[in-house]
Structures are given as C-alpha cells and as structure tokens.
Structure 1
C-alpha cells in the first residue's frame, strides 16, 4: 500500500510539473495581441488624410449608371430580335401574304425599327421596304444557311453611323423563301442623362458606335463651350479605348465572390482635373439577365460608357492626427488593463501554484505567501492553514477568531471584480469611439451629383417599366392582328402558348368574347372580374381589393365584334425591373399614390411610408395642369438625411394611361460619403475593441475565474477538516495544478491522521 501510494503521488507530481496548454496566460496574451493589432489598424485607418477628390459614392453611382444603360440596351436589342422572330413565326403559321402586308402589319404594331425590307433569298430581289434604306449589300445570302447565318450583325454606313441588322425567315409552302431584314441604331433607349452627362456605345475594339449628350452643348454659340465639347469628345474616345480593354476581362475575375448584382464587367475610371472638376467614367458590358448566360445582344461585344464631370471635394473630413492619438490612447489604456490582469490575477495564481506545489513536496518551513485579493487570497489562507496542520496543528487551532472577518474582506474584491475593472478600462476607449467621436451630423455635405443621379436613374427606371408594359401591349396587338377573324379556338391556344413561352412577362393570356366567355387561354386561370372589361384603357389595374396588384393589357381582335386578347402581367416581372443596386427603396405608385410594385416586400395598395414622399410624388406633376417631370430632393429633418427622387410615366404608349410614378429613396448614411465613412470606421474600431475585451475576458472568466471560485470553496472546506472529499482537477492548467496539489495535501493529512492513531475511514462512516 505504501509503495502504491508513493507511485500515485509521484504521478500526480509529474503531471503538476508539466507545461499545460491553456490556463491563464493565453487569454491575456491574446488580448494583448488583439489590442496591438487594433492600435495598428486605427493608426493606419485614420492616420492618412481622408480628403479624396471624389467620394466613392460618386464613382459607384457612375458605375451603376453605366450598368443601367447596358441593361436597357441589352433588353431593347433582345426584345427587338425576339419580336421579329416571333412575328415571322406567326406569319409562317398562317396563309401566305404579300411582303407589303407583312411590313405594314409589322409597322403598325411595332415602331422600333428605322428601316425594314423583305428580300427573296434565291434571286436577291427586293420585294418591299419601309423606312430608311436597309444596307442590303452587307448581307451575304449564300451564308444564310450556315449556323450563325441569321445572327444579328453590325454594319458601318458611309456617313460613319452604325446600324444593327436583324434577320428572320418567311417560309410558306410552294413559295420561295424570303428574308425579313430590319435595321436599327445602337442608341441606348430611355436613359435620362441630365444636363452634363455623355453616354456612348462602344464595340470590342474601343470604337464609339453612337453617343448622346453632346448635341445640346454644340448648339450653344460659345467658344468656351465649344472647347469643352471638343475636350469631352477627346476624353470620351480615350476612355472608350480603356473601357474596351477592361471589358474584355472575365466577369468572374472582376467581382468579389458572392457579390451578385450586375452579371457583366463594370467599373469606373477618373480623368485629369479640368477647372476644379474631374471627369468620372462608368462602363459596363452587355450582360445576360442570368449569371453565365448569353443572348443575341451579348454576343455583339458591346459596352456602354458614361462620362460626367464632377466638382472636386477639397475639404478635409478627419484630422490625420486622429488615428495616431486614438492608437496611442489605446496602447496606454490597453497596457493598464493588461497590467491589472497580470498583477492581480495571473501573478497571484501562478504564485499559488508554486506555493501549493512546494507544500505538496513536503517543504513546510516557510509560511505561504498569501495574495491580497479575491479567491487567490482565500486559497492562500487555506494553504497556510494546511501547512500548519501538516506541522501538527488542528483545524481549530489554525483558525483564529479573525478568520471569518479576513474571509469577508477577501470576498469584497473578487477576481470577477478585477476582470470587470479591466473591461471598464477598455470601455473607456471603445465607448467614445462607438458613440461620440467622428459623428456625421446633419450638416454634412452630400454631393449634388448623388441627388442628380438618384433623379436620373429613377427616371431611367420609370422609362424601363413603361417600355416593358408598352412592349407587352404591342405583343398583344401583334397576337390580335395575326389571329384576326378566321382563327379557330384551337389555333388561338397554339398562338397564345407560343407567346407565353417567348415572353415570360405574362401570368396568363386568353381570348375574351364580348359576352365574357374565355374562348382560348394559356398560362394560369384568368382573374378578370366578371369577364367584362372596365373602361377603354389599353392597360388597367383589374382590382384594388386583391392581395397583389392585377395588371392586364387589352388588344381588340379585328372582325370579332369586340372580342379581346387579354394579357395579365406577372407582378414578379414588374418587381424584377426595379431591382437595381444603389437606389435604396423603390416603389411604383398609382395616381392615388398607392403602392403597386416594389423592389422589396410591400403590401399592395398601401400608402407611402411618409408624407414627404407623398409631397414629392405630387411635385412631379401628376396633378392636373402640371407637366410630368422627374424630381430629386435631399431631405434634412428628424428622420436623418435622405435622398429621394420620383419620376412619373412620361412619353407615349399604352402604359401612360396608368398614371404611375416610380419613387426611390435611401438614407445618405448608406452611401460611401467621406463623413459617413469616417464615422463607420470609428464605430468599427470601437466595436472591435469591445469584441476583443468581451472575448478575452469572457474566455478568462470561463477557463480561470469560475474554476478558481469552486477551488477556493474546496480549499476552505479542506482546511476546515474535511478529509473525505476527493479533489479532481477540471483542466490541465494552473487551477488544475493547484487542485492536484491540494489533493496530495489531503492524502498526506489522512496518512498523518492514521499514524497518530485516528479512527479508520470505515469507523468514521460507521
């Protein structure tokens, strides 16, 4: 038994001598490293002057503007190609008609092509033509049978302009094949340029194919303006070359993984300063609506480039010494916090570990050095009492009358209070960083260009929605014209199904008889109330009592006494048109300012969230007697600084009768404006400080303080005479080593008791 007990004690001693992983040192060391790293980041983040000539928000806005133009151009080209192919397919499905009839019906339904022509493929004979002359010599009829023979292509005219030619085949049994050709310019449709913006379409070689925004300046008889126009053209040509080079990159390599947004290549560039202004360029390639996809338009290799001159920002937002002062303050406060933890928590605990190991090895000559505070003091008092008991004293003799008072004084300042003191020291630095310093007040300067961009982009988005509805109504007119008065219901369903497949904007298509009977349908069940058309508007909202807006377009069938082709638009289709980054919250409201569409969640036909947005919509000219016009405004009130814009449906088309307005708004704090950027970095530094303190001090509390409190209770119980409770270490750290030493002391006291003739353990239990 004696040999076994000696081996067990030797094993415990060997474990106590091991260098243990964890314990009190790692949390304090990690806290020191994190505070040093945070001080370095603070000095680097604020140590340089934050007076960039152009705010990041302005540059990003120009990138979004170019993306809007690329989306509009791609959608317009693909829509034109799809409409031409679908129209040709519908003609091919019916009886043969003359070339003049085809072009007349095509022109009556769609007014989107500058010129159109039909050529007999075998002979090359021109059968019919409308509009401007189509460059027929650029078409090689012998290559039409190849794989890409009917792909759209660009042709350079003698006057330097570029035309896009699109093709479709007209085939009837017993008649020679005919080639339907349309030509159109490459002008970006529906883009609101404002007063000083230039936009251009560029090919893969950097050649400007078309541009807009310079003509107004050229008409002004001023030498200065003329020079500025020439300089702008020169810069535009230079940036077009650079944009073409950058656009050749793979979109996957130009964006952060998972960033989403625009699926093509886009970015910004800045030019040299001219008269306190600096040109900012945004560029974007024509990209498919889905990642990794391609369309006929994206295969043309086109890019959209926008250029606008913006006044430079010469004001200084933050003092360059702020970062150095904040970093120095963090180093001083962090050093005090770490010194507090080292002096009042780590060193006393390590001293207790050494004292307990000395006692467990039999060195009882020197009194135990007792720490001054907290649980360490309680454990030190217990070790001293155990040393005296090993020298022959009893628990009662080693406890004097003042022992309880000493214990109470030791509990007054526990280890948890010491950790809280360290946390309070770190909060002295972190709290002002989060709540007080570098606050962006209500007087910050928001660049006027951001307000202009919000207005112009909202106007562009309005035109995009209006054009989409007009295109949908034009499709219905095309279907109605081709169905005519001779088509049977079975054939009607075939035409409707084909239209549904080619145009996902509809949830349902159906033919409605004058008495409200559905003669043929495709898609979902019709939601038309009572089967009757209310009013004569070509596009109307069916009901304002439903859970979601129901918008339908009408086209009358010729020769059928009022029968209609009805297309109900998908709400998701309208909402998807509004999903553009950089505009914040976007809503479509009707003439009563009730919401009918949004880019985020909404309730149908509810009011706008604030009265100032209602006033903004009214100011756009929806009231009687005012001309519709887009407007943008910067709100400064109790709700913070907010940029808002509204643009009503303007221009022709069936959608104008709806009287809708697109409204967008976003807080200025969401933009990369220097004042807000400095505030965000300051808050981030404070949050990092709080996080580092909470993580490391919490780690210290879980790993050290809680086990130490339990160990203090066990040590006092052992010193009071409890020899039966075995002490088990929880972790292989300093607290665990002290626990093992106390267990060895407990075993030594038991052996001492046996040698003195004390009752056995079995007798004690009895």
Structure 2
C-alpha cells in the first residue's frame, strides 16, 4: 500500500538541506571581500555629504524665514517710503550683497540698496502671482561678476490709505493699475552669497554645484578638488579622468533621484598608489520637494583620499573547508540514519505485513503453516526496532504453537532518541563554532583609522548643527528683546505671543525683574529652578534637576530712560528652548547614539531615550569627553577612539567621539560637549560582513538540523517507542488491548499487522479452549455403550 510520510522523507530532507547549507556557505563567504575601499568608508562619506547638504538646506531656510518674519513684523505707515523700509529691513548678517523693493504687480523696482539685484531670468511677477499669497521660494541666479547669488523674497503688507489716489500720487506710482479695493504689497528681494557648507576632516574637500553641474563654490581638499567660488568644472588640476568626472556623475545622479527622499550616494575616483579618492554626494532639496531649496537644484559633493585596504585573505578557502566539513557530516548522518533506523524499520514493516498475510490466509482463522509463517523475523541490533523485532519473532513462534508467550525482552540502552541526539551533536559541532567562534571580528584591529576619523568629523558636524540652532534662537531672542520697551514688556503680551507663534522651538517666553521674579509669561510653565537675573546675553541651562532639562536663551531688555530700576522694571527676556527640538537636531542617520552634555558631563539632550541630567551610559565615554577639554580659556578639541567590548556601552564594541559644542558664539563659554557612539557591528566592513555571513551559515545549519531531526523524532522515533511497548505487551500475553494505527506510515502499517496477529492469537486460544469441551461428551457416551463384563 502507498505510505504517506514515514521515516524516509525527513532523512532525505535532512541530507538535501544540509547540502544546500553547504552551498550557501560557499556562495555567502566567497562573495565577500575584494574591495580596496571598505563599504563603511563610502557610507561615511555619503553621510558626510548628506550632513553638508542638510546644513545648506537649514541655512537657506533659516535666512528665508528670518527675512519673512522681519517683513511681517515691520509695520510701515502711510508716509513710509520704499527707501526707508529697505533700509530698516536690510539684513545685517554680512551675507547680503544687495536688496530691493519691487512692485509685485509690474515687477519694476521701487528702491535699491547695495549691489544691483541679479533678476535676469527671474520672473518676479509670475512667482508672486503663482504663490497665491504664500511664501515665495528662493531662487538661484548669477550676479554681474558671474558669482552665484541666492535671491530671498518676502512680502511687506502696506496699510490701505483713506484716499488711495492721493497715496499713490505721494509715492509717485501710476494710478492706472492700482487696485484700491485690496491691500497693497511691496516685494522685498535680498541677494545673498551662497554659503559653502563646512566639512570636517583633514584633506576633505567640498563642492557646491547647480543643476547643470557648474561648481558654485568649494573648499580645497584632495588634489583636483575645486576651490573657491567661481571654480569651473574643468579646473581640476592634475586629477585623473575619474576624478574630473565625479561632479558630473554626482549631479546626474541627484537629478535622476526621486524627490520623495533625501537623495545621496557615494562614488569612487582614481587610485594613485596606495590611496584612492572616495566621494559622497547629496541633494540639497528636501524630501517631498517642498521648501525654499526644492527648486534650487543644488548638489553637495565631498571627497577625500583614503588609504586602500591591504590585501585581505581570500575567504574562499575558509568557505570551502566549512562547506566540505558540512557535506561530510551530512553524508555520515544520512548513512547512520539509513542503516541504523530507516532500513530496520522498513524490514519490520515487511516482516509484520508477511506475518499478517500468513494468518489471514489460513482456513477458519487458523494460521497457515506456510513459508511466510515459517520464515523467522530478522531482529535488528538495537533500539526500538530490536524490541519490535523480538516481539514479532515471539508472536510468530506462538502462532506456530512451538512455545508459549515469552517474557518481554530487556531494553537496550541505545535507541532512536540516542541516534537522533548523536546526529544533533554532529550538526551542532559544525554550527556552534560558526555562530560563536569562527571569523570573529575584533574592533580594535578591523576598524581602519579612516572610520574613526569620519565619526569624529560627523560628531563635529553635529556639534555645529546644535551651535547653529542655539545661535539662531539667541539671535531671535535678542531681536525680540531689542524690539520691545522696558515700559511695556512687563504688561503687553502681544509681542511675546506673536514671537512664540513664529518660533516653535521656544516652549516658553518670560520677562524677569532685577530680583529674578517673573513679571510676564507666555507659553508653557517655565522649568527653571535657578532664580537669578543674569547680566549680558547668552545661552544657559536654567535648571539642574527635574524630569526635563531646560536650556534657555536670554537677552537684556534695553532701557529707554535713566530712571532707577525697581521691582516692576523688566530687565531680562528669557526663552526656554524645547528640548525635543535639540533632540531632533542631534539625530542623523548612521551616527549612532548622540548626547549633548553640560560641563559636568550630564546629559541635557540626546537622540535616544535618557533621564534628565544622567551621566553618560559608560565611564569610557565620560573619559573621552573629559579629554576634549583644553587649557584654561580654550574650548578644547575633538577626540575619538574605538571602545572595545569590555569597555564599550551595552557590552559591544563601538566607535566613539566627543567634540566641544562651540568655540565662538553665545554657547562658547558653557563647556558643553557633543558625544557620539556608534556600534562597531553596524559598520559595513568586510570583516563584519564575513562574521555575519558565517553566523548566518551556522544558524542555517542549526535550524535545518533542529527542524529535520525534530520532524524525525515526532513522526518516527516517538511512534516507534510506543509501538515497541505494544508489541512487547502482545508478545507477553496481553490479548485484551486493541491496537489502533495512528499514523499512515511504517509504524501504522506494523500496528495494523500486530492487530491482525492479536486477533489470530485470540482465535487460536479460543479454539484451543473449546477443544476439551468438545471431546468430553464423546468419551462419556463411549463408556455407557460398552458391554458389562
């Protein structure tokens, strides 16, 4: 009869799958290596370019938002001339080269300041009309000297005069196109120099390119890196062909990338001796394609020469040795299971079927003494199959009437479970070393110095982002403090409320008197616990305990009179910065865990969960942050190191770096640090790739062994153990237990045959018991009919 399942499928599947794991091991390990520049180096350069692009995007958006806020806050009167408004709104940050006020209806210029506006090719009227009253995105153009210029736009709302005709005549405007029924506007346009983003790392250069691949500016780095603004794509010095093609390739990739994500990538340049150029590119446009930089078409390209990786050992030899060992183990296991389990079970199946056929062919239920019944049952050597074979041989003898029920044979120590355990140990002996011992990568030896330097460069970039964010908040607060009066700052909430609505990075704004008491507050409840009135302006933390750290910018409110300062006089304006905004500033892909610490190395902000004012998670990080401190009066310098598994956070190796927050600006004297730690296992190095693939091969082998041997134990070994108990009980004389087959396999077939043999034994015993009763009356009648003597 056909067998469903049985003992053969798991044994065959185990052999096939182990051979497949051996093949996967060869393919997985053979394809690693062969890179003269580690993938981790290329990934780090890509992230550095992405950080630089994010810096450009943040700078442009910040300048545009600042200009729009200044335009909204400016309130011209009916007597305000365009020249007066332009003089009041001209940015004083040093990057502005020229400005002008335009009529958005006709596009003609009403007033100008500085260098002429480079409006060639820019349709101001269409842009103002297409924006539907919303913000007008920045535009990129070139000035009279062919230098790149960034145009920023803002609207100035003018009051509706009582007599629009008279007002237009006072300002010298044409009345034919006027629209007195709607509020009039001026369009403020500011021309700025395009700032090249800062990059860190010795020998690293950066280039800023437009959509056509023209280099708008850059800093010198590796040979062939474009330098200052105005450098053309062809002026690459003595660099090779691949290095000269890097800008064009980067711009082409950026233009072809989807705008749904921040596009970035890495490129390889020429190799000269033992060094090779590695480049990273990133698009300045934000994800989603909405923002002031979405239509600029800017691309950042960074590049650096790194030492090529020394010749690594070919993993093909190791993979062939591991795969060959597994193949030998698979063949040994297959032979062992075939000759020790599969063949004995199949022979028992045939023997039991033969005995069942013999008893079924006999007349009146009596066994037929033919060759099937006379042939002995082959008994296996050990295990459950040996027990079943001995029981079948005993039952065969009982059917022939040669002897009575034998005592159940003793069990041998070795069985199917021991056989499966031996096979599992053989597979584990191959898998466990691959999981825990083979091809282990040690961070202190496999991480190249370039990776450590790149981590330090990215940590410096993170510190620069935090410094810019705090500096922007400080500038916003000082501008707000300069725009309010000490006479009304303690009573009028409108300026503070408007500033809080415009600057979502502030969680609370409040005014203090000379005693440190709050006179006026808008926003959330202040978190401050330090109640003093500082002098000057700057950045500070206003609490040293609590659930949420509080960092605040403060500025002195200018005095308008020489009167004495009383308890009701506003003195200082404070703005508490939302710590979540700083947390988002610290977050960058592939940088790891980043913390902002104070001068005592207590955590103020982080891109991971933390407790306020907790210490750094590991003492080595604290030591690294302490080593960044310089001499008295200096902010120190950045440091980086590889923390091994015994000294790294969370018990794993990591690449860590620490950098001072700022050397200049309002946060320079705070002594704060930015500390980062990235797990070494996350680096895309060949050694770690070989380690992970080796572990994967070991895990696959262990999984296949557990699955197939568990399948064999459930469907073969366990039913055989139960069948051996039933067969021994039947051979020992138990005729009352009915044997029901559970599985449609060899064990079920033997069970059905044993049930037929049990029925035959029961019929034989009944016949034997009925024979004396049939002969007793015949003997009595013979005595009665005999003559008396």
Counterparts of 2:226 and 2:47, CA distance in 1: 29
Aligned partner of 1:259 in structure 2 is none
In the TM superposition, what are the counterparts of 1:444-593 in structure 2 within 5 Å? Answer: 444-484=445-485, 492-493=493-494, 495-512=495-512, 516-522=517-523, 524-529=524-529, 533=533, 536=536, 538-559=538-559, 561-593=569-601
- Deviation readout 1:69-110 (Å, 9 max, x if unpaired): 122111222222222222222225999866666566656785
Question: Of 181, 186, 189, which aligns to 1:178?
Answer: 186
Aligned to 1:277: 275
The range that moved more, 163-172 or 678-687, is 678-687
Matching residue of 1:210? 217
Contact 2:98/2:112 (8 A) holds in 1: no
Shift of 1:466: 0.9
Seen in structure 2, the aligned counterparts of structure 1 residues 417 and 737 have a Cα distance that, compared at 3 Å, is same
CA 1:643/1:94 → structure 2, altered by over 3 Å: closer, same or farther? farther
Conserved 8 A contact 1:120-1:127: no
Per-residue CA distance 1:722-760 (angstroms, 9 max, x = gap): 22323333333332333333333333333444444479x
CA contact (8 A) 2:326 2:430 kept: yes
Residue 368 of structure 2: aligned partner? none
Could you say which structure has the larger radius of gyration? 2
1:193 to 191, 200, 207: 200
Q: What's the CA shift for 1:111?
A: 5.7
Name the structure 1 match of 2:608: 600
**Residue 328 (str. 1) matches residue 324 (str. 2):** yes
1:243 counterpart residue number:
250
Indicate conservation of the 8 Å contact 1:282/1:306, yes or no. Answer: yes
User: Displacement of 1:554 after TM fit?
Assistant: 2.0
CA distance in 1 between counterparts of 2:225 and 2:721 reads: 84
Match of 1:691 among 689, 695, 703: 703
For 1:355-402, what per-residue CA distance to the aligned partner results, in whole angstroms no more than 9, with x for missing partners?
2222222242322222222112112222222223333467xx2315xx
Cα deviation for residue 596 of structure 1 reads 1.4
Q: Deviations over 1:376-432 (max 9, x none)?
A: 2112222222223333467xx2315xx54xx23x2x001111011111222332233
> How far apart in 2 are the matches of 1:519 and 1:146?
41
Query: Is 1:381 aligned with 2:390?
Result: yes
The residue that corresponds to 1:59 in the other structure is: 42
* 8 Å contact kept, 2:107–2:124: no
Match of 2:51 among 68, 74, 77: 68
Q: Is 2:733 the partner of 1:732?
A: no
* Alignment partner of 1:360 is 2:356: yes
Identify which range, 292-301 or 33-42, moves more after superposition: 292-301
2:346 aligned with 1:345, yes or no?
Answer: no
Distance 1:398 1:659, change over 3 A: same
- How has the CA–CA distance of structure 1 residues 384 and 331 changed in structure 2, closer, same or farther, with 3 Å as cutoff? same
Unaligned runs of 5+ in 1: 1-16, 221-226, 254-262, 760-766
Post-superposition offset of 1:619: 2.8
Structure 1 position 333, deviation (Å):
1.5
Q: What is the alpha-carbon distance in structure 2 between the residues aligned to residue 686 and residue 361 of structure 1?
A: 49
Map 1:578-727 onto structure 2 (within 5 A).
578-635=586-643, 638-639=646-647, 642-727=654-739
* Alignment correspondent of 1:10: none
Comparing 150-159 with 95-104, greater Cα deviation is found at 95-104
2-side partners of 1:752 and 1:85: how far apart? 108
Determine helix, strand or coil for the equivalent of 2:205.
strand
Q: 1:536, CA displacement in angstroms?
A: 4.8
Relative to structure 1, the CA distance from residue 748 to residue 234 in structure 2 (aligned partners, 3 Å threshold; closer, same or farther) is same
Partner SS for 1:614? helix
- Residues 105-254 of structure 1: pairs in structure 2 closer than 5 A: 113-119=96-102, 121=104, 124-127=108-111, 129=113, 133-136=116-119, 139-148=122-131, 150-173=136-159, 174=161, 177-189=185-197, 191-214=198-221, 230-232=237-239, 238-251=245-258
CA distance in 1, matches of 2:283, 2:224: 27
2: CA distance between counterparts of 1:518 and 1:383?
A: 102
Q: Distance in 2 between matches of 1:75 and 1:426?
A: 56
Rounded to whole Å, the distance in 1 between the matches of 2:470 and 2:302 is 27
The CA deviation string for residues 500-532 of structure 1, in whole angstroms up to 9 with x for no partner, is 45443233334556663453413x322233765
Q: Check 1:219–1:571 CA distance in 2 against 1; reply closer, same or farther (3 A cut).
A: closer
Contact 2:635–2:663 at 8 Å: present in 1 too? Answer: no
Q: Give yes or no for contact 1:74–1:298 (8 Å, CA) kept in 2.
A: no
Larger mean Cα displacement after TM superposition, 315-324 or 55-64 = 315-324
* Shift in CA distance, 419/472, structure 1 to aligned 2, threshold 3 Å: same
* 1:451–1:716 Cα change, 3 Å: same
Cα offsets for 1:133-174 (capped at 9, x unmatched) = 542556544335421483211102243321111100111213
2: CA distance, partners of 1:348 / 1:558:
101
TM-score (norm 2): 0.82
Equivalent residue runs for 1:90-109 within 5 Å: 90-92=73-75
Q: Distance in 2 between matches of 1:147 and 1:228?
A: 39
Q: 1:324 to 1:473 in 2, by over 3 A?
A: same
Cα pair distance change 1:445/1:370, threshold 3 Å? same
CA separation of 1:170 and 1:708: change in aligned 2, threshold 3 A: same
Who is 1:417 aligned against? Answer: 418
Summarize deviations over 1:650-670 as a string: whole Å, max 9, x none.
243323243211112234343
Would you say the 8 A contact 1:382–1:716 is kept in 2? yes
CA distance 1:30–1:79, change in 2 (3 Å)? farther
Assess if the C-alpha contact under 8 Å between 1:444 and 1:675 holds in 2: no
1:293 and 1:758 map into 2 onto residues whose CA distance is: 100
TM-score normalised by length of structure 1: 0.84
Per-residue Cα deviation, 1:658-688 (whole angstroms, up to 9, x for no partner): 3211112234343222233323322322222
Aligned mates of 1:373, 1:535 — CA distance in 2: 94
Q: Which moved more, 1:292-301 or 1:366-375?
A: 292-301
Aligned residues: 713
Range 712-721 or range 447-456, more displaced = 712-721
Moved more, 353-362 or 326-335: 353-362
SS of the residue corresponding to residue 600 of structure 2 reads: coil
Does the aligned pair in 2 maintain the 1:373–1:415 contact within 8 Å?
A: no
Residues 1:332 and 1:491: Cα distance change in structure 2 (over 3 Å): same
